[in-house]
Structure 1
């Protein structure tokens, strides 16, 4: 399971970097407590849709509309935890 965690976290990190064009340094600096929505100017409501779609594609998951809330994008750790949970189904 530990390998899955690393893969999911790396994928979430890569998706954030790619979709939001954060650059390698900013993407690498993301920590579990790093705030996302409201803290990253690049992550606006339009970017959220692209971010979630890209996560679905890369992780082969389906994110239902009712699963998307403020807590999901509160910080990097919450998004990784959500993605890990989705990949375990």
Structure 2
């Protein structure tokens, strides 16, 4: 399973949406009403568990959650730090 597929599975579970058509350009924050503050918290937890990363509080900003691609880019960066 690719990271995109893993991320889409996480988002499908959190948002209760069909994310099969989501790609790296799919907008999240501000574009999907379901992607609220509680979904962000759930996504952070799921990212840490699924990808074995630690999300630093200093890294949390709106740009991180702008698109699926920005989240995946963060996962790659955080994974490289681990």
Post-superposition offset of 1:83: 0.9
Q: Does the 8 Å contact 1:59/1:87 carry over to 2?
A: yes
Runs of 5+ consecutive residues of structure 2 not aligned to the other structure: none
Within the candidate set 72, 75, 79, 1:80 is matched to: 72
Q: State the distance in 2 between where 1:31 and 1:10 align.
A: 9
Post-superposition offset of 1:10: 2.0
Post-superposition offset of 1:28: 1.3
Q: Does the 8 Å contact 1:8/1:83 carry over to 2?
A: no
Runs of 5+ consecutive residues of structure 1 not aligned to the other structure: 1-5
Matched, 1:51 2:43: yes
Q: Does the 8 Å contact 2:4/2:23 carry over to 1?
A: no
Q: Does the 8 Å contact 2:10/2:46 carry over to 1?
A: yes
Q: State the distance in 2 between where 1:10 and 1:79 align.
A: 13
- Aligned partner of 1:13 in structure 2 is 8
- Aligned partner of 1:3 in structure 2 is none
Q: Normalising by structure 1, what TM-score?
A: 0.81
Q: State the distance in 1 between where 2:4 and 2:79 align.
A: 12
Please, what is the CA RMSD of the aligned residues?
1.4
